[in-house]
Amino acid sequence: MAFRARHLLGIEHLTQDDIRTVLDLADSYVDLNRRTVKKTDALEGMTQINMFFENSTRTQASFELAGKRLGADVMNMSMQTSSVKKGETLIDTAMTLNAMHPDLLVVRHQNSGAVDLLAQKVECAVLNAGDGRHEHPTQALLDALTIRREKGRIQRLTVAICGDIAHSRVARSNLILLGKMENRVRLVGPPTLMPAGVAELGIEVYDDMREGLRDADVVMMLRLQKERMDGGFLPSEREYFHRYGLDAEKLSYAKDDAIVMHPGPMNRGVEIDGTIADDINRSVIQEQVEMGVAVRMACMDLLAQNLRRERGRALTEGQYV
Ligand code: ASP
C-alpha cells in the first residue's frame, strides 16, 4: 500500500501512488462532508494540536474542521501569545508539546525548513501547513483534487501558474506535484518575481500573460506576497494588474473550458479581477476550499493509520510508544 510516511512535510517526498492514495481517499471524504452527519471515528481518541506561527484563516479552520470530523480532540495553540514571544526556542516549544503526547501536530511557520526540524524532535506525526517559501503540501493536494474532479484527470494538462512565483510555497508545491503527475507546467510572471535559475531547470517561463495562458487547461493565480518582499519588486499595483492581473481579456487566451484557481487570500484588482473570481462558470476557488477539508481529512487519516501500525509493532516488540 502507498503512503507509508510518518510525516507530511512536502510533496517532494511523495510518489505518484502516494498522491493517488490521498486523492482517492479524499474523494470519499468529499461525499461524507456533503451529508448532514459528517463524522467518522478515524481519529477517535487521538489528539491533534494546531500550531500556527504565521497567520492563517482558511488553512487553520480547514485543519480544525478536518480533525473534528475525524473524531480527534483538537487544540489550537495561539502562537501569537505563546511563550515563543517570551523567547522560547522552536525546539523547546516542540519538546513541551511532545510531553503532552499529541498524535498529530499541524504546523505553519514563517521559516523554510522549520517544520522539518520540528518533526525530527517529536514522536507524533507532523503535517506541514506551510513553511516560509518552501512547501505547502496540503494546498497542492487540494488543488490536484480540484483539478482531477473538474477535468477528469490529473495528467497531460497544461497548467499556467501565474504571479508572484518567487515568494510562493504554493507555487513550489504545485510545481513539484504537477510535474510528478506528468503535466505541462508554465510559470508566468514578471522576471523580478521569478526564482533565479528556473529557466535553466527546463521549466517553461513566460513574462507575457497572453502567451503564457495560450491554450492552458488550468490558470492558477497567486497572491502578491508583500510580507515576503523587502524592496521594490514592482513599479505599482496598478501597473501589475494591467500586465499580470487576470481579467476576461487575458483569460480568453486560455482554452474555452479553462478553470481559474486561487489559493486565497485574494487581492481583488491586484492579481485577479473580482468578476473573474466570482464567475461560477470559470472560477473553482470555492471548490478549492471545499476540497481542502477533504484532503486534510485524508492526509490525517493516512498518517494516523501509519502511527497505529507503528505503535502496534512496537507493542508486539515489547516497548511502549
Ligand atoms: N494561503 C496560501 C499560503 O499560506 C497562499 C497565500 O498566502 O497567498 O501560502
One-character DSSP codes across 81-99: GSGGGGT--HHHHHHHHHT
CB-based contact 151:188 (threshold 8 Å): no
136 in ligand 1 pocket by Cβ < 6 Å? yes
CA dist 224 and 218 (Å) reads: 19
- Identity (one letter) of the amino acid at 157? L
Beta bridge partners of 165: none
**Distance (Å) from CA 315 to ligand 1 centroid:** 40
212 in ligand 1 pocket by Cβ < 6 Å? no
CB-based contact 220:261 (threshold 8 Å): yes
163 in ligand 1 pocket by Cβ < 6 Å? no
**Distance (Å) from CA 279 to ligand 1 centroid:** 21
Give the model's pLDDT for residue 77.
Answer: 87
263 in ligand 1 pocket by Cβ < 6 Å? yes
Phi-psi group of 261: left, alpha or beta (phi > 0 → left; psi -120 to 50 → alpha; rest → beta): beta
CA dist 79 and 205 (Å) reads: 38
Give the model's pLDDT for residue 81.
Answer: 61
Beta bridge partners of 208: none
Among 87, 97, 142, 86, smallest CA distance to 119 is for 97
Beta bridge partners of 161: 187, 220
CB-based contact 58:292 (threshold 8 Å): yes
- Nearest ligand 1 atom to the CA of 222 is 8
Burial annotation 24-34 (CB, 10 A radius, 16+ → b, else e):
ebbbebbebbe
**Distance (Å) from CA 64 to ligand 1 centroid:** 17
Q: What is the pTM of this model?
A: 0.95
Give the model's pLDDT for residue 17.
Answer: 97
Give the model's pLDDT for residue 163.
Answer: 97
Q: Which residues of the chain have pLDDT under 70?
A: 1, 80-87, 230-231, 315, 318-321
**Distance (Å) from CA 280 to ligand 1 centroid:** 22
Give the model's pLDDT for residue 321.
Answer: 47
Query: How many Cα atoms within 13 Å fall on the side-chain side of residue 279?
Result: 17
CA dist 110 and 80 (Å) reads: 13
- Burial label, 320 (beta-carbon count in 10 A; 0-12, 13-18, 19+): exposed
Among 255, 46, 23, smallest CA distance to 144 is for 23
- Nearest ligand 1 atom to the CA of 169 is 9
Give the model's pLDDT for residue 225.
Answer: 86
